[in-house]
Structure 1
Amino acid sequence: MSTSWDQRVDAFWDAADDTRPAAMLQEMRVLVDERGDADALYEWASVHDFLGREADAVPLYRQALDAGLGAPRRQQAIVQLGSSLRNIGAPAQAVDLLAKQEPDEVVGDAAQAFLALALHDSGRTGEALQVALRALAKTLPLYGRAVTTYADDLPV
């Protein structure tokens, strides 16, 4: 039985090791070259991001999204692009991207977490705390409503 491309990508990530960047890039390049589609572009961006090469990952994420990247990788790419933008010193771009994202079954409230970080880095600390508390409130069985109310009352 042959192993699918997605299974080999999963195996790649299961064995991911950022202490061997050249080998990781080479191994992912082989997988990317097999497909050359939006999914492959996303994985290529992801390995750069994983290796701390966010500046290289940003245009790759954008290419993958522009090429029609679909679910479930699309949601991950948006979160990862937002995080990478923040990490390269473009938190306002990250805010613009992440503020539009709704929680979903793939990434949950991850966009909200990275949005809070980007808002903080943009000097919008009150808004950052609001976003983080609202996301947290959804998980609280007893005090969610109170935390949401307090978040709404914060000065921004």
Structure 2
Amino acid sequence: MTTHDRLQRAIHLRETGHAEEAREILLDLVAAAPDDPQINYQTAWVHDNLGLEREAVPFYVQAIEQGLAGANLEGALLGLGSTYRALGAYDQSIETFKRGLKEFPHNRAFSVFLAMALYNTRQYSESVELLLTQLAETTADENLLRYKRALLFYAPQLDQTWE
């Protein structure tokens, strides 16, 4: 079985709920090909799936540094930022999510996850602003849509009052 076939097998196993078996394959693959960004990314992902966040971080970092691109980079930045946040590494989480927003501005998940990390660092106004903006721009709720303009106006100035 080729490396590619083994990688595809591990991905299939992870996607079908057999993460531990996928992890074994991926650890073998990453030992044989430590400079492969796709293998590192999949190894990070399976560790996250298993609740092994601390172990996932170096694989995410390696994959990103090795030139992961496109949708895989997008997923890796979301995964790494979320993992940092879960581990309490809030500044690294914020930095990662901001990079994700810069590189993938269409992906609203970066803003929502960034809002959570900002909340964790007591940056409440910026956190709520991001959430209100995402809500106003994506909701289909008729009651909220009536106030979309107001929500978007007030979101960046929550602490301001008018007399």
TM-score by length of 1: 0.80
Distance in 1, Cα, partners of 2:94 & 2:133:
16
Q: Which residue of 2 aligns with 1:112?
A: 111
Structure with the higher fraction of residues in helix conformation? 2
Indicate how the Cα distance of structure 1 residues 94 and 11 shifts in structure 2: closer, same or farther if over 3 A, else same.
same
Contact 1:98 1:114 in 2 (8 A): yes
TM superposition shift of 1:125: 1.7
1:102-152 CA distance string (max 9 Å, x none): 3456xx211111101111111112211111111222213534332211212
Distance in 2, Cα, partners of 1:12 & 1:145:
46
Q: Which residue of 1 aligns with 2:9?
A: 8
TM superposition shift of 1:47: 0.7
Distance in 2, Cα, partners of 1:147 & 1:10:
42
Distance in 2, Cα, partners of 1:151 & 1:79:
24
Unpaired runs of 5+ residues, structure 2, are none
Tell me if 1:28 matches 2:29: no
Q: Partner amino acid for 2:154?
A: Y
Number of aligned residues: 149
Contact 1:133 1:151 in 2 (8 A): yes
Indicate how the Cα distance of structure 1 residues 63 and 146 shifts in structure 2: closer, same or farther if over 3 A, else same.
same
Name the larger-Rg structure.
2
1:25-48 CA distance string (max 9 Å, x none): 214335656765101100001111
SS of 2:99's partner is coil
Distance in 2, Cα, partners of 1:128 & 1:32:
37
Unpaired runs of 5+ residues, structure 1, are none
What is the RMSD of the two structures over their aligned residues, measured on CA atoms?
Answer: 2.6
Indicate how the Cα distance of structure 1 residues 138 and 10 shifts in structure 2: closer, same or farther if over 3 A, else same.
farther
The correspondence for 1:155, drawn from 144, 154, 159, is 159
Distance in 2, Cα, partners of 1:25 & 1:9:
7
Contact 1:99 1:115 in 2 (8 A): yes
Distance in 2, Cα, partners of 1:9 & 1:109:
29
Contact 1:16 1:24 in 2 (8 A): no
TM-score by length of 2: 0.77
